[in-house]
Structure 1
């Protein structure tokens, strides 16, 4: 389980989370498949065996790290299929009763069409892994989607009753510092530039320049910076261990662990898949903790709330 994205959240001061309490809370909110009339449902599953919905283990703890996994089932009901059924029913009513069907009745027919089609709809399942770094007091979510991360946090709040967290908020503007890195041609705190970036004009939302697999020291890139564009996303490599894209919102996306990190997780031969999961989790969580510490240090630490 190697995370491809890192959305980091900080636990509020004074909020202490006991792993046993978390396990019990998630047990009470375990995943159960959608009923025939339900369009979607979320719940917790075993983070090691996310396909096993019969497991009673919902928190996988390894040292000061505790992984969880949220599973969501969604019924696939294309809007065009619903619309076709409603239009067919509207034509039948208008022909039979010699009257026009208006909006309010159409909405009622739409609800009835959805209720009719749901039991026959295919289901799509997805899972979101996340882990708590108890020592760092952080939640790390493997998602580049803010809405998906918030969905997982909302599910934790539902289970626990309270789960106060906030996105990383740092002292130094990430956009300003990344722009300065690009202007200087070098980064700091163990980071070096890769070959991707996204430049924006702060005064014009649609004015975006995307550079992919390019020499970021090229004259054309410098010209955009001289014209006032700023860096919203920057591809970087940290300590020759992790390549990723840093964003102005401090989302770390397109995470790729270099071979030396992957090999470290396989120094000991694992006989079972669960053993390899633990080895991967142990190495990954330590590397991510160090990476986030470098990010916070580069941007002058967490800002006061």
Structure 2
């Protein structure tokens, strides 16, 4: 159980919930497959998959959950062809032109007829609640996917006081300072070999660099021209590598050999034990990394957070 991405939400006021209470709340919105005429449906499923029945997997106060989303797939060209065929048939039979509004109605009818035979695409999105750390962490590659999970969780719980974390200075300013050496970065942060630079002007371009020395003259020339760093590959404390963007989205998470070696000590034949061990190792490492990373970026802006 290693997350590949991490979208962060900060609890904006003290929040705590037991595994039992969370389980009870999620059960009311457990996943059910799409009905014959439904195009999409979401619900909670066991994070352990076939190895578990509980909708919440907890370890050391961290609560892992999983949202499953089913979508019916109707290929656009197939629907369009069926609509055109029916429209042509009406035009020949009734000697009149089928207008756009009527075509839209035909399309709705065609889709309703096709839905029961449509293929389904299922996606799972994992997240864990860390009340003691004040964060909700979502394994999502996009902000929208993370927001969808947070919204569904809010609906299930009735209330979920979270917001994206904020830092005292713009991340792009900090990233740029690290590369042009006007801002120091802590020893726990090591620059990688990948970045994205943007021209801040309205029609400015984008330069993506990969496999390069980010302190090289080539990069410095772009910085001297006024470009800003909006994505940056980093390694945290020799244990976690990732790409961080200006919205504090963490992508392509990779956990280092030290953590992997610890996982190898767990019985390889016990899937549940390995899952639990990986989740524990990951959450403990991220519980160190997340606040440290926010500090490295200039410190967290906590003005909108209600303290105890």
Q: Is the 8 A contact 1:242 1:256 kept in 2?
A: yes
Partner of 1:294: 292
In structure 1, distance between residues paired with 2:203 and 2:237: 33
**Alignment of 1:283 onto 2:294:** no
2:32 aligned with 1:41, yes or no?
Answer: no
Specify every segment of 5 or more residues in structure 1 that has no aligned partner in the other structure, as ranges. none
Q: Partners in 1 of 2:97 and 2:67 — Cα distance? A: 46
- 2:154 paired residue among 154, 157, 182: 157
Is the CA contact 1:189–1:298 (under 8 Å) kept in the aligned structure 2? no
Structure 2 residue 271 is the aligned partner of structure 1 residue 273: yes
* In structure 2, C-alpha distance between the alignment counterparts of 1:36 and 1:189, rounded to whole Å: 57
Q: Does 1:207 align with 2:173?
A: no
- Spell out, residue by residue over 1:56-81, the C-alpha distance to the aligned partner (whole angstroms, 9 max, x if none): 41011101100000001111111111
Structure 2 matches for 1:132-171, cutoff 5 A?
132-171=129-168
Which runs of structure 2 are paired with 1:84-123 in the superposition (5 Å)?
Answer: 84-123=81-120
Deviations 1:149-180 (A, max 9, x none): 11111110111111121001111221111111
Note the alpha carbon deviations across 1:243-285, whole angstroms, 9 max, x for none: 1111111111111111111111222324410110000001011
Contact 2:169 2:297 in 1 (8 A): yes
- The answer to whether the Cα contact below 8 Å between 1:261 and 1:283 also exists between their aligned partners in 2 is yes
Deviation of residue 216 (structure 1)?
Answer: 1.1
TM-score by length of 1: 0.95
Q: Distance in 2 between matches of 1:206 and 1:21?
A: 50
Higher relative contact order (CA closer than 8 Å, sequence separation 6+): 2
Aligned-residue RMSD, C-alpha: 1.5
The corresponding residue for 1:73 is 70
Runs of 4+ in 1 over 6 A off after TM superposition: none
User: Given the alignment, which residue of 215, 233, 236 partners 1:235?
Assistant: 233
Bigger mean CA deviation after superposition, 204-213 or 119-128: 204-213
Determine helix, strand or coil for the equivalent of 2:287: helix
TM-score (norm 2): 0.94
Q: Give yes or no for contact 1:187–1:193 (8 Å, CA) kept in 2.
A: no
- Is the contact between residue 176 and residue 231 of structure 1 (CA under 8 Å) also seen in structure 2? yes
Deviation at 1:205, TM superposition (A): 4.9
